[in-house]
Structure 1
Amino acid sequence: MTALHRLFKPIRLLVVSILLASLLAGGLAGLALAQEGEGEPEPTDTPPEGDMMGEALAEECSACHPDVVAAWEGQPHDMAFADPLFQEGWADQNHDPACLECHTTGYNPLTGEYEMEGVTCVECHGETPEDHPPAPVDLNRANETCADCHLVSQAEFRASHHYQAGMECTSCHYAHNNGLRMGTELAQCLNCHADQLGGFVAHRVHIEEAELSCRDCHGYVQPGQEVPPNGLAPTGHDFQASLRACLDCHESIQLTAANGTEEGASGPALELSSEFDIGGQKAALRAQQLEAIAQTLLLQSRNRAAISMVQGGVGGLLVGGLAVWFVNRRKNGKNGKNGGKQVAGKPESEGSHERQG
């Protein structure tokens, strides 16, 4: 029984260590989730490091696609990480690792590390096949690929007639330099909507005489609105011309609404604009925007929880290892003391026998 007891004692200590590690990891993860939204996280001294592989990748692709790489260099996707505006906003978020999901290539949420700064070819097109060419890379996932990061714009776009008509982001935008395919906003819209320009007096007056663009009304974004923590503000991609767009210039005009008649019409334009909604589109769009923001915040929470679990697991193993070391040390110390007493007592016993003899 003694030998069996000695055999299983280290196993019991190992099991206790594993349990301690699990409890500590779970406790830290729970604490991270419980504190979500209760206060600002402590800022880090420096942002996480990544290796500079973006230029090497661009050079590799430019061997066959020099025009595409030239259009990408220095543009928003290339500068997604280095952009001073992002760096300032990221610092305000205490260098939240969740931001790197869309501003770097090859980001790993478990470690907080990434492969390349900025959004490079592989981030949108996926891994290049080994036999490329002739095996092609994926070029036909525009809406899905853009939606991974442009959450609010995609939510707006899905509420628009453009999306319902089967259009994609790349129907108007170049993917590599973010420019418009027709060069200007007016030319881009007239490519499909030339008839509307001549058929509605408001279009002709605002464009020809006031020198406005379609976006000033149909892509209107209310100035001064608060940007959410994730930095994803509305961009006007629902293409709805609301009364608030009119009030930006015509603030002194008192508009009325009376279901097609003048009887019972009342209320200033500003009051009406806050209630004006066509077929519930404004409410549906706002719901989609909030859903997109919620998805981003959930991603941030999951990333922090995963990192906390890894850190907790390592800490638990260290605590368990120290516990095993401490128990073994105490055990060895006791054994040493007991052995010393036995050795010291033996000569005394022999001496007493001699005296008795």
Structure 2
Amino acid sequence: MSNIKANFPWLVPLLAVLCLWGTSLHVASESKDKEIRSSSDSTALQHEVTFQRNPDYACVQCHKDEENKLAGAHKDVINPHNNRSMTCIDCHTSISPSHRDGAKDVVKFDHSQSVSGTSIAASSIEWITKQNEACETCHEPTQLQEANWTHDVHARDLTCSSCHTVHPETDPMKGLTSKAAIDTCVDCHTDQRLAKEKE
């Protein structure tokens, strides 16, 4: 019994040394395993996080709406080409530094038609096509024709924004009754006829 009491003070440091030695062996083997895994698996995916500024930030500094973001029907839409939220430049194309000086680098959407009316002058087919091509990157012509035959008839003579609003809370053409649609046709074609009669 006295031998056990005499050796007890040596027992505690011996256990501590053994624990430290075992831990160091474990750490050394883990680091060796990591080296082997990283050297053998050269195709391992490395994820890199890059921060992207809001692409609409520069636009909304001048072109603001109530929420400081894209308004209306397009604001919650996902761009089918990149699976991201729609941005200003998705429709209005790239914007150069000279944009603020009035450079014509941005596609602007307005009522443009190839035949002049009493209040709307005729626009070039190129300008009408440029506007409509921006819409048709998402809204495919075949789907538009299936939705309504007038899309096919007016495709190169009238801009989409002549009938549709680009930033609408509700689109003026959606849910239109057939009578109201006919009234729209009559109003426009009557206006063009009156312009021809004045010439």
Higher relative contact order (CA 8 A, sep 6+): 1
TM-score by length of 1: 0.26
TM-score by length of 2: 0.42
